[in-house]
C-alpha cells in the first residue's frame, strides 16, 4: 500500500487503507462525534443532545449503513456512548462505602457482559445493552479503586496509546521473537512473554506522550506552558 493510500486512510478512517494501524479509524470518527454532539448542545442544550444521540443510535440499529467517509456511519453507533460519557462526567462520582457489595455487583456485571459476548448475543439493541453493562461494571470498579496514580496516568495518555500502540506492539513482538529465536505467535501465546511485550509497549507509548507534551502539547489537547 502506498504512502498516499495510508495517508488517506488516516484522514478518512477507511479500514482498507489502515493496514499499518487499523485502530486509527477511531480518530476521524471521534472527531466527528465530538463536533456533532457539541453543535447539538449549542443549538438545543444537553437534553436535546442526549435525545438526538439516543435516536441516532436507534437509527443505526434499525437501518443498516455502509461505510462512509470519516466513519460517519459509525458516529450513529457511538454517539450514544459519548452522550452517556458526557452525562456521567457531569456527575460527582464518589468512592463507594460498601466495597464488598459493590465488588460483587461489578463481578456479576462483568460476567454477564462476558457471557453475552461469548454467546454472540450482541446483535441490534443487545450490542448496546452488553456494552452499557460493561460500562456500569467499569464505573463500579473505578469507584472501588478511587485513587490510583498509575491508572490515572494511563488514562491521561490513552489517546497516544490508541494512536501508536498497534505498530509499536508489532515491532516489539518481532524484536522479542528474534532475540529469543521463537516465532511471533509463540511470543503472543505465552503469558509471561505477552506481559513483557505489553509492559515495553506501554513504556514506549508513555515516552512518546512525554515527548509530545513537551514538543507539541496541542496534539493531546494541552496548552504550552510559557516559562517565566
pLDDT at 12: 62
- Same domain (yes/no): 10, 85: yes
- Domain presence at residue 134: yes
pLDDT exceeds cutoff 90 at 221: no
- Give 203's contacts (C-beta < 8 A, 6+ positions apart): none
- Same domain (yes/no): 83, 12: yes
Helices of type H across 17-71: 26-44, 46-62
Q: Give me the mean pLDDT over the 174-199 stretch.
A: 90
Q: What is the rounded distance in angstroms from the CA atom of residue 25 to the CA atom of residue 18?
A: 8
- Same domain (yes/no): 138, 188: no
Q: Counting beta carbons within 10 angstroms of the beta carbon of residue 79, is it exposed (0 to 12), middle (13 to 18) or buried (19 or more)?
A: buried
- Same domain (yes/no): 120, 43: no
Q: Give me the mean pLDDT over the 74-93 stretch.
A: 84
- Domain presence at residue 102: yes
96-123 pLDDT, tens per residue?
A: 777 788 888 889 998 998 888 887 776 7
| Highest-confidence segment of 11-20, 91-100, 168-177 | 168-177
- Same domain (yes/no): 175, 129: no
pTM: 0.71
- Number of domains the chain is built from: 3
Which of 139, 135, 133 minimizes the C-alpha distance to 113? 133
- Same domain (yes/no): 97, 76: no
- Domain presence at residue 177: yes
- Domain presence at residue 227: no
Can you tell me which residue has the cell 442526549? 50
Can you tell me which residue has the cell 457531569? 90
pLDDT at 48: 93
pLDDT exceeds cutoff 50 at 228: no
34-73 pLDDT, tens per residue?
A: 899 999 999 989 899 999 999 998 888 888 777 677 778 8
Instruction: Give me the half-sphere count of Cα atoms (radius 13 Å) on the Cβ side of residue 144.
Output: 16
- Same domain (yes/no): 99, 83: no
Q: Give me the mean pLDDT over the 23-27 stretch.
A: 73
Domain, as residue range, for 163: 153-220
Output the CA angle 117-64-138, nearest 5 degrees. 30
pLDDT at 127: 81
- Give 16's contacts (C-beta < 8 A, 6+ positions apart): 9
pLDDT exceeds cutoff 80 at 175: yes
Amino acid at each position: 500500500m502506498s504512502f498516499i493510500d495510508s495517508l488517506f486512510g488516516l484522514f478518512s478512517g477507511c479500514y482498507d487503507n489502515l493496514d499499518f494501524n487499523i485502530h486509527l479509524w477511531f480518530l476521524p470518527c471521534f472527531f466527528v462525534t465530538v463536533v456533532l454532539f457539541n453543535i447539538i448542545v449549542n443549538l438545543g442544550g444537553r437534553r436535546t443532545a442526549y435525545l438526538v444521540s439516543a435516536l441516532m443510535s436507534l437509527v443505526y440499529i434499525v437501518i443498516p449503513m455502509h461505510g462512509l467517509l470519516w466513519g460517519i456511519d459509525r458516529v450513529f453507533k457511538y454517539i450514544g456512548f459519548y452522550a452517556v460519557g458526557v452525562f456521567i462526567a457531569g456527575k460527582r462520582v464518589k468512592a463507594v462505602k460498601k466495597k464488598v457489595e459493590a465488588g460483587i455487583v461489578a463481578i456479576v456485571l462483568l460476567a454477564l457482559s462476558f457471557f453475552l459476548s461469548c454467546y454472540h448475543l450482541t446483535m441490534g439493541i443487545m450490542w448496546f445493552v452488553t456494552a452499557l453493562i460493561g460500562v456500569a461494571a467499569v464505573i463500579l470498579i473505578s469507584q472501588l479503586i478511587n485513587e490510583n496514580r498509575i491508572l490515572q496516568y494511563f488514562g491521561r495518555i490513552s489517546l497516544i496509546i490508541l494512536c501508536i500502540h498497534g505498530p509499536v506492539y508489532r515491532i516489539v513482538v518481532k524484536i522479542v521473537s528474534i532475540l529469543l529465536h521463537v516465532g511471533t505467535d509463540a511470543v503472543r501465546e505465552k503469558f509471561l512473554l505477552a506481559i513483557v511485550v505489553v509492559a515495553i509497549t506501554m513504556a514506549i507509548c508513555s515516552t512518546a506522550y512525554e515527548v509530545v507534551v513537551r514538543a507539541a502539547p496541542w496534539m493531546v489537547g494541552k496548552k504550552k506552558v510559557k516559562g517565566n
